[in-house]
Structures are given as C-alpha cells and as structure tokens.
Amino acid sequence: MRVLLKIFEKISPIFEEGGKLAAIKPLYEAIENFCFAPSAKARCAPFSRDPLDIKRYMTMVIIGLLPCVVASLYFFGLRVIPMIIVSYMTGGTVEVVFSIIRKEPIAEGFLVTGLIFPLILPPATPLWMVALGCAFGVFVGKEVFGGTGRNLFNPAIVGRCFLVLAYPAVMSSSWVKPGHGITGRLLEYVSSANIEAITSATPLVEAKHGLEDMSHMFMGLDISGCLGETSALMILCGGIFLLLTKVANWRTVVSILGSAVIFEAILHRVNPEQFAPGMWHLFAGGLMFGAFFMATDPVSSPSTNEGKWMYGILIGVIVILIRNFSGYVEGMMFAILLGNIAAPIIDEMVFSVRLRLLKNE
C-alpha cells in the first residue's frame, strides 16, 4: 500500500492550481481520498474528531440495501447487475461533471442514489431508460439545487417520477414474475426476448381481483414489483440495520408505517368490501422500502425530530389516499415527493415553536 501512496504523492502536484490537469482535481481527490484516509488535521478546537465521515455514513445505507439487492438477484435474475452498473455510471458521470464545473469536491451522495434508483424500477426496464432516469434524477433532483445537501427532493424519486410520466406504457409493462425454487432466476437474464416472464400485475394491481396471501408478500414469493421492494423480510433486515446505526431516523419510519397501517385499518373497518386490511398494505408495493430507505434521506426530510413525526404521518396518510382513491395503484413515490415539498414548511413550523420556547430562557 505504501507504493500506492507514494504514487499518489508523486502525481498529486499535477492536479494542483497551475498543474496540467488542475481541471479534474475533484476527480483525483475523490480517488485519492477513497483509497487513503484524508490527511487533514484539526486546526481549531476541537482538536480531535469523531471517526465517522460522510463516506462511512453513506456506506451504511449501501450495506442496508444489500439484502434487497440479493433478494432482487434471486427473484429477477442477472439483469439486476447491469441495471445497477448503468445507474452508477450515469449518476456518477453527472456528479463528476458538475463537481468539475463547480470546482467542488465530489460528494458521496450519488453512491446511495445510484443503488436506490434501480431498486425502485420494474425489473425489465430497458437499460437506456435506467440511464436516462438516473441522469435526470441526479441532474434535476440534485445538481440544479446546488448539489448534495441542498437538494429539496430525493433524486432517485425524481428520476423514477420522470420515467413514469414520460414512458408510462413501458414502465407498466416491465413487471416480471419473480423466480422461485432454490435458484430462483439467479441464472437467468430476463429481457424482452423471453417475454413469457413479463407480466403486468403487481399485488396492488391484482388487488382488484383478490388479495395475495400475506405471508407470500412478507417473503416476497411469487410477488411482482420493483426490484428492491418485493421482499419485506429483506427490507426489514437492511432497514433495521440502518436504524441501529442511527443513520436512518426511526421516527420517520415508525410514523410512516404506523400512520399508513392505522389509517388503512380504519378504512377497512368502515368498508371491508372496498378496502384491504391495514397489514396487507404494509407489505404491498413500495411502502416499506420507501419508508426505510427513501423517506429517511436526511437531506430531503425535515431536520427536526418533531418535524420527522409530522413528515412521516403526512406521507403515510397520502400513500393510503393515493392507493385507495386515485387512478394510481402505487402511491409511495408521489407521497414522498409531496413530503419532500412539505419538509421545509414543516421545519419552519417546528422552528417557530421551538424559538418561542427558547425565548423564555
């Protein structure tokens, strides 16, 4: 490793001010600091810092997503891999290009966006659409606002919304019947060529005909859906890991899931014919995935704990409203988007209450 460090030290002057390749300094810096812990030292108090940095922070989310990736490989086959690669490459390129233009260091946010984005797409989405959606999401959802930390929306959701609105037909015909047995579809590559795998039915669509078995939905067996959202078990594994590391805030998750289930349960009580039971909705579609991995994105959710409760309840209620009373069968994406829009307003409200309390001190 010492050799590698020496190499870095040797070539780093080229990227400094006035060097030949100064323009791509952000890229070089990112690679160097990826390999070796940055050498910066504390110049003012406190003279020592917590070992957690943003790389580690984002890595935790990726680890939390891994069970879902594994599940999607099992259910939907090898096609998952190129989808993830394409998403990372386009997202990364947009990020790097903008960092170079802005002369700012490359932020690690796209590491998470690049992985979440394919996981919320239908399994047979064409690769060019993955690329287009990811680029759009990162560009409009993040870079336009000034990069990571300043974005109003979750970039992955922006990308997915764009695809749904721009290519509704392709999106709704890209569902795949998940594999089963020991190997699942692990050895298959689903594409439009082996069309028999393609179906148009997700549980939420099929709900019109009759409800799926809930235990199947919990495990993800025989249930179609977006790559990452089918197996509630795997989402729980990764999601609880994320809560334990304190990277995702439990308040958001609990309030979304709780309010959605309770609201739906009330509806079910009122009219069991028309509305499904509360627990059923918990396992259907993207509710759980969204609650654990997308709504908890700290940047686009309110920054205060009280705000997170309100934000979660808002999302939970909107999901159920959209699912039951609108033309869309899946509401999580729009619910989070609306939540993102409301986040700054919620924050303002919480701030004003807090400041009033602080005034007396």
Partner 1 sequence: MKFRGGYNIRFQGKPGGLLKDILLPEVLYLPLESGSFNFSALCATHGQDVGLGDVLAKDPDNHDIPLLSPTNGKVNLEAAPGHITLEDLSDDSSKSYTYHDELEHIHKKMGSAGLKRYKLLNLGAWEFVKEAYTGQIPNPLSTPQAVIVSTFRLEPFLIRGDVLLKEHLRQFTRGLEHLQSLLAYQPIYLAFPKIKSNFAAKIKEQIRGYAWVKLIEVPLKYPYDSFEIISRHIGLRHSTGSIWGVNVEGVLAIDMALTNSKPCLERAISVAGPGALMSVNLRLPTGYPLSKIKNEYGLQNSIAIDGGVLTGRLLTDDIKGVPTDCRGITFVPEQLGREFLGWLRPGFGRQSYSDCFLSSLCSHFPERLTNAVKGELRPCVSCGFCEDACPAGIMPHQLHKLIYQDDIDAVEKFRIDLCVECGLCSFVCPSKIELMQQFREMKQTILKEKEIAAAEAAKEAALESATEAE
Report, in Å, the least distance between residue 42 CB and partner 1. Answer: 5
Q: Which stretch binds partner 1 (CB under 8 A): 10-18, 81-89, 116-124, 352-360?
A: 352-360
The owner of tokens 């998403």 is 87
In angstroms, give the least distance from the CB of 279 to partner 1.
29
Q: How far is the CB of 335 from partner 1 (least distance, A)?
A: 20
Residue of 6, 31, 56, 102 interacting with partner 1 (CB under 8 A): 56
CB of 64 to partner 1, least distance (A): 11
Q: State the binding string over 289-328 for partner 1 (x if CB under 8 A, else -).
A: ---------xx-x-xxx-----------------------
Q: Is 3 a binder of partner 1 (CB under 8 A)?
A: no
Answer yes or no whether residue 41 interacts with partner 1 by CB under 8 A: yes
Among residues 161, 142, 160, the alpha carbon closest in space to that of 152 is found at 142
How far is Cα 98 from Cα 114, in angstroms, rounded to an integer?
A: 16
Measured from the CB atom, is 1 or 193 closer to partner 1?
1
Nearer to partner 1, 10 or 43 (CB): 43
Instruction: Give the C-alpha separation, 218 to 236, whole Å.
Output: 10
Spatial distance between the Cα atoms of 330 and 335, rounded to a whole number of angstroms: 10
Residue 170: CB atoms within 10 A of its CB come to: 16
- Scanning 47-55, 75-83, 121-129, 172-180 for contacts with partner 1 by CB under 8 A, the matching segment is 47-55
Stretch that binds partner 1, among 147-155, 161-169, 269-277, 331-339 (CB under 8 A): 147-155
In the complex with partner 1, which residue's Cβ is closer, 57 or 167? Answer: 57
| 294 neighbors 166 (Cβ within 8 angstroms) | no
Considering the rule CB under 8 A, would residue 107 count as an interface residue with partner 1?
Answer: yes
Secondary structure (3-state) at 315? helix
Nearest to 80 by CA among 127, 34, 35, 38: 127
Integer Cα distance of 93 and 99 in angstroms: 10
Query: In this complex, which beta carbon is closest to partner 1, that of residue 230 or of residue 300?
Result: 300
With binding defined as CB under 8 A, does residue 166 bind partner 1?
A: no
Identified binder of partner 1 from the candidate list 108, 143, 264, 330, rule CB under 8 A: 108
Residue closer to partner 1 by CB (options 83, 156) is 156
12 binds partner 1 (CB under 8 A): no
What is the Cβ-side half-sphere exposure of residue 84, based on CA atoms within 13 angstroms? 20
Contact with partner 1 (CB under 8 A) among 147, 179, 285, 290: 147
Q: Could you please report the per-residue DSSP string of 297-344?
A: -TTTS-SSHHHHHHHHHHHHHHHHHHHHHSS-S--HHHHHHHHHHHHH
DSSP assignments along 205-260, one per residue:
HHTTT-PPPHHHHHHTTT---STTTS-HHHHHHHHHHHHHTTSS-HHHHHHHHHHH
The residue count of the chain comes to: 361
CA–CA dist 153, 338 (Å, integer): 9
Which residues, 210 to 249, sit near partner 1 by CB under 8 A? 244-247, 249
| Residue 101 is a binding residue for partner 1 (CB under 8 A) | no
3-state secondary structure of 19: coil
**Neighbouring-strand partners of residue 202:** none
Q: Closer to partner 1 at the Cβ: 18 or 46?
A: 46
Compute the least distance from the CB of residue 11 to partner 1, in Å: 15
Per rule CB under 8 A, is residue 167 in the interface with partner 1?
no
Looking at beta carbons only, is 200 or 305 nearer to partner 1?
305
Is residue 355 involved in binding partner 1 (CB under 8 A)? Answer: yes
| Cα–Cα distance, 170 to 164 (Å, whole number) | 9
Cα 113 to chain centroid distance, Å, stands at 6
Rounded Cα gap, residues 14 and 181, in angstroms: 55
Q: Which residues contact 51 (CB under 8 A, 6 or more apart)?
A: none
Which residues sit at the interface with partner 1, rule CB under 8 A? Answer: 1, 4-5, 33-57, 59-60, 105, 107-109, 147-150, 244-247, 249, 298-299, 301, 303-305, 351, 354-355, 358, 361
